[in-house]
């Protein structure tokens, strides 16, 4: 199942007593912007070319400061593009094995974090904050981690339900 910002794989193994046991829950989370970066890059190059051409025309007409201001606009858009690229490098993975619930995260600065939680004691909460914003939080043994901060509210609630179901199935 593929959504804009979420890719999940979920498989179940049926035990001998007929109950569904969660064999594996594996979800990889990526920001939505990843698929659109090449289009944004081309748009930025076209805009830069147009600004350069217009700036040169105005410079030849005697309005030399226009070229500098248009260059400043292109530079500002490039900084915004680089920020989007850094955000696109974010990655989160949450997987459940028989003994551990593992959370692996690479933030926008490239910092890596890995946290292993006990699935028996793990608690999943979808906390509502004002304005329709929610936080998906997993806690276990005094350790708390926010999952999918870049996901939409609908995607968080879908992930919440899937993870809650997998955790409840995996408990004896």
Tokens of 131: 């304005």
Q: What confidence score (pLDDT) does residue 23 get?
A: 52
Residue 100 sits in the same domain as residue 166: yes
Q: What confidence score (pLDDT) does residue 14 get?
A: 35
Residue 1 in any domain: the answer is no
Residue 162 sits in the same domain as residue 95: yes
Residue 40 in any domain: the answer is yes
As separate numbers, helices (DSSP H) first and strands (DSSP E) second, the chain gives: 3, 8
Residue 111 sits in the same domain as residue 159: yes
The pTM of the full predicted model, rounded to 2 decimals, is 0.67
DSSP calls for 47-72 = HHHHHHHHHHHHHHTT-THHHHHHHH
Please give the Cα distance from 31 to 92 (Å, whole number).
9
pLDDT tens-digit series, residues 91-102: 899 888 878 889
Q: What is the DSSP pairing of strand 123-129 with strand 133-140?
A: antiparallel
Q: What confidence score (pLDDT) does residue 97 get?
A: 81
Q: Which of these, 167, 127, 168, lies nearest to 145 by C-alpha position? A: 127
Residue 57 in any domain: the answer is yes
Point out the residues of the chain with pLDDT beneath 50: 1-4, 8-18, 22
Residues in the chain: 172
Residue 112 in any domain: the answer is yes
Residue 98 in any domain: the answer is yes
Q: What confidence score (pLDDT) does residue 81 get?
A: 86
* Structural domain containing residue 52: 36-87
Burial label, 29 (beta-carbon count in 10 A; 0-12, 13-18, 19+): buried
Residue 107 in any domain: the answer is yes
């Amino acid at each position: 199942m593929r959504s804009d910002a979420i890719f999940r794989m979920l498989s179940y193994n049926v035990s001998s007593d007929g109950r569904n046991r969660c064999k594996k829950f594996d979800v990889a989370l990526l920001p939505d912007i990843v698929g659109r970066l090449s289009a944004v890059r081309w748009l930025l190059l076209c805009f830069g070319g147009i600004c350069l051409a217009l700036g040169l025309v105005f410079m030849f007409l005697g309005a030399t400061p226009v070229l500098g201001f248009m260059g400043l606009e292109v530079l500002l858009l490039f900084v915004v593009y680089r920020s989007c690229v850094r955000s696109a490098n974010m990655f989160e993975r949450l997987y459940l094995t028989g003994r551990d619930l593992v959370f692996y995260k690479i933030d926008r600065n490239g910092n890596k974090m890995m946290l292993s939680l006990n699935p028996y004691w793990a608690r999943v909460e979808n906390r509502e904050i004002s304005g329709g914003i929610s936080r998906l939080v997993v806690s276990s043994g005094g350790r708390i981690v926010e999952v999918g901060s870049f996901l939409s509210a609908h995607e968080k609630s879908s992930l919440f339900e899937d993870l809650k179901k997998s955790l409840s199935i995996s408990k004896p």
